[in-house]
Structure 1
Amino acid sequence: MEKGNQSSVSEFLLLGFSNWSGQQALLFALFLCLYLTGLLGNLLIMLAIASDHHLHTPMYFFLANLSFVDLCLCSTTVPKMLLNMQTQTQSISYSACLTQMYFCVMFANMDNFLLTVMAYDRYVAICYPLHYSTIMTQRLCASLVAVPWVIATLNPLLHTLLIARLNFCSDNVIRHFFCDINSLLPLSCSDTSLNQLMVLAVVGLIFVVPSGCILVSYTRIISAVMKVPSAQGKLKAFSTCGSHLALVVLFYGAITGVYLSPSSNHSTEKDSAASVIFMVVAPVLNPFIYSLRNNELKGALKKALSPSKIFSQ
């Protein structure tokens, strides 16, 4: 392929973890297990919530949406990565790369919004328990999901259209396991200053603002919990929210390391590891974090998977 502004690439090469040449079989098995675990876990959560009318509450409504988004988020990257490992190929077409980038950004944004909404839901439940049903109405819950979906759909469209106007010349090697914006922009032979500005502005708004809202919500939650006279009550409240907060810290910590840290701190290995955390590990952890200590959800799942229930259908 000749260099020059008139030439353009028709495909990219995803290096992924190809530098780990001796561990490809181990990596394949690891990511396959992670993907199947996340797929099965999130599907089971959605099945349990859909099949039990007792779980048709705001908290479980948001959880079902989070499970769906997590399932889609890891499905945008892991199957292609596994296919490349299995076939020993690294290519992805130009159009497929932009499509993957769009859906990665969309579902990552939606994951971010849902974590924020769930933090607000827990804040209302703990700080205003007597008014919870009047505040968290069906209309508000639907709006808290519908509006983020609109934003999450339009935001990656902006980035995709801005990247589609760029020229990509001779260099088509993406040193990542998926088509990430930060990995695509350095390959362009066009001026990418507008793209970089929009990435910083949008990432700042879409991730910094929600993370601030989560921080405020949990600060007030902790303050309210500390006023509970019963030690058992405090333990129960912290147990409910602690796992959610741990996932939030993991998710936002990884995103900050990739998109909001100084460029001098970036490296292929660090960015890949951080991306694996919020693109693969966090979606897999969600089913366990939100269900292992949730007796209502475990009971609904047992009921949905009971032989009598299955055969009656």
Structure 2
Amino acid sequence: MNLFNSALGKNITFVHPAYFIIRGFSGILNIKYYYVFLFFVYIVTVLGNTVVMAVIYLDHNLRTPKYIAVFNLAFVDLFGSSALVPKLLDIFLFNHPSIPYNECLTFLFFCYSCLCMQSFNLVALSYDRLIAIMFPLHYQVKLTNRFMLTMIGSFWVFVIIAVLISVGLLTRLSICKSVVINSYFCDHGQIFRLACNDYSPSSMVSFVYPAFIFWLPFIFILLSYLYIGYTLAKVATVQEGLKAFKTCISHLSLVTIYFIPLLITFTLMEKIHPNARIMNLSLTSIFPPMLNPIIYVLQTQEIKVSVKKLLKIKGRSKS
């Protein structure tokens, strides 16, 4: 961050507090039960995503573009939950609300990077389904493992640069109004509003970034499925169309779980109580990583077959 500051201007002093105080969930009755629930969700998330990653890694039949994207999604879910939930429990359940300034910005970086990458990973899976259904005979030519790895790598680079810029802009702010963050983590919007100097660049970032990281991926996914449905309705029988669309159920479930709560929360942002908003956003952050592996294990035939095969091999080796 010092390099970022020196590149933008020299001999400028900014007031950075020694620490922030995270004050989300204040005034909510029996909130400790919610923290216990978060711990349970986190355990399921770790186990589920670890299983999915292990199955894809061990079964060479799953080394396909689709499952490269699924593996990356499981990694992002596991890493993002591990960045968020243990720290959240430490802050609220064990009553350690203060967090050092630099640690807070690092916390913000990892949480936002994983949240953004979830959105782009759903785009990669949507593109996979689009090519698989629209060009089934040319799927292996049009969508190779190398192409999928390049796409996901590009998304990672974009997300990391975008989040680094937003964090770097925060270091250009003098925090003097307060050190209290009314959220469940180091929220970008909550931090820049505590500044007493001009925070318009950070405000612009908070307005522009959702368009690129949230709305554009959502629109692409929506249009891709509209195109799939329109094409299948013209050229396929009802049974063929249902069979083709059945391969999209797991991905559509992930899209619904990830985007719908965010749409509802941001649409009703001004009409709901701050505590309700914080609860909704926290659930949106922790539920998809838990449900994604469950959906893929239960709704994807290749994963179920691979799990059964690996369990049989393990059982034989023990015998």
Q: Does TM, scored on the shorter chain, surpass 0.5?
A: yes
Q: Which range moved further: 14-23 or 205-214? A: 14-23
Change (3 A) 1:234 1:271: same
CA RMSD of aligned residues (A): 2.3
Letter in 1 for 2:301: N
The gaps in structure 1 that reach 5 residues or longer are: none
How big is each residue's C-alpha offset from its partner over 1:242-284, in whole Å with a ceiling of 9 and x where there is no partner? Answer: 34223213322333456x6486346422431332243111111
Q: Following the alignment from structure 2 to structure 1, what is the Cα–Cα distance between the partners of residues 279 and 254? A: 16
SS of 2:93's equivalent in the other structure is: helix
Q: Which residue of 1 aligns with 2:113?
A: 106
Change (3 A) 1:255 1:11: same
Q: Which residue of 2 aligns with 1:91?
A: 98
How big is each residue's C-alpha offset from its partner over 1:179-228, in whole Å with a ceiling of 9 and x where there is no partner? Answer: 11122122222221111112211221222222221111111122233343
Tell me whether 1:292 sits opposite 2:293 in the alignment.
no
Query: Shift of the alpha carbon at 1:310?
Result: 9.5
Change (3 A) 1:172 1:127: same
Contact 1:304–1:310, Cα closer than 8 Å, also in 2: no
Q: Which residue of 1 aligns with 2:190?
A: 183
Q: Which residue of 1 aligns with 2:20?
A: 12
Matches within 5 A, 1:226-237: 226=233, 227-231=235-239, 233-237=240-244
Q: Which residue of 2 aligns with 1:199?
A: 206
Tell me whether 1:28 sits opposite 2:35 in the alignment.
yes
Contact 2:69–2:121, Cα closer than 8 Å, also in 1: yes
Tell me whether 1:213 sits opposite 2:220 in the alignment.
yes
The gaps in structure 2 that reach 5 residues or longer are: 1-12
Q: Following the alignment from structure 1 to structure 2, what is the Cα–Cα distance between the partners of residues 199 and 76? A: 21
How big is each residue's C-alpha offset from its partner over 1:102-122, in whole Å with a ceiling of 9 and x where there is no partner? Answer: 111111111111100100100
Q: Which residue of 2 aligns with 1:67?
A: 74
Contact 1:34–1:280, Cα closer than 8 Å, also in 2: yes
Of 288, 298, 307 in structure 2, the residue corresponding to residue 301 of structure 1 is 307
SS of 1:76's equivalent in the other structure is: helix
Tell me whether 1:126 sits opposite 2:137 in the alignment.
no
Task: Give the TM-score taking structure 2 as reference length.
Answer: 0.87
Q: Following the alignment from structure 2 to structure 1, what is the Cα–Cα distance between the partners of residues 316 and 205? A: 50
Q: Following the alignment from structure 1 to structure 2, what is the Cα–Cα distance between the partners of residues 202 and 170? A: 25
Tell me whether 1:269 sits opposite 2:275 in the alignment.
yes
Query: Shift of the alpha carbon at 1:21?
Result: 4.4
Query: Shift of the alpha carbon at 1:83?
Result: 1.5
Contact 2:117–2:159, Cα closer than 8 Å, also in 1: yes
SS of 2:126's equivalent in the other structure is: helix
How big is each residue's C-alpha offset from its partner over 1:44-91, in whole Å with a ceiling of 9 and x where there is no partner? Answer: 000000000111111111100110011112222111111223322211
Letter in 1 for 2:261: A
Query: Shift of the alpha carbon at 1:298?
Result: 1.7
Contact 2:269–2:277, Cα closer than 8 Å, also in 1: no
Change (3 A) 1:209 1:310: farther
SS of 1:177's equivalent in the other structure is: coil
Contact 1:9–1:170, Cα closer than 8 Å, also in 2: no
Q: Following the alignment from structure 1 to structure 2, what is the Cα–Cα distance between the partners of residues 114 and 172? A: 34
Q: Following the alignment from structure 2 to structure 1, what is the Cα–Cα distance between the partners of residues 164 and 152? A: 19
Query: Percent same amino acid at aligned positions?
Result: 31
Change (3 A) 1:176 1:56: same
Aligned residues: 305
Contact 2:68–2:149, Cα closer than 8 Å, also in 1: no
Tell me whether 1:254 sits opposite 2:251 in the alignment.
no
Q: Following the alignment from structure 2 to structure 1, what is the Cα–Cα distance between the partners of residues 184 and 200? A: 24
Q: Following the alignment from structure 1 to structure 2, what is the Cα–Cα distance between the partners of residues 291 and 147? A: 27
Contact 1:9–1:168, Cα closer than 8 Å, also in 2: yes
Change (3 A) 1:85 1:135: same
SS of 2:184's equivalent in the other structure is: coil
Letter in 1 for 2:30: G
SS of 2:309's equivalent in the other structure is: helix
Change (3 A) 1:161 1:262: farther
SS of 1:12's equivalent in the other structure is: strand
Letter in 2 for 1:299: V
Q: Following the alignment from structure 1 to structure 2, what is the Cα–Cα distance between the partners of residues 84 and 248? A: 30
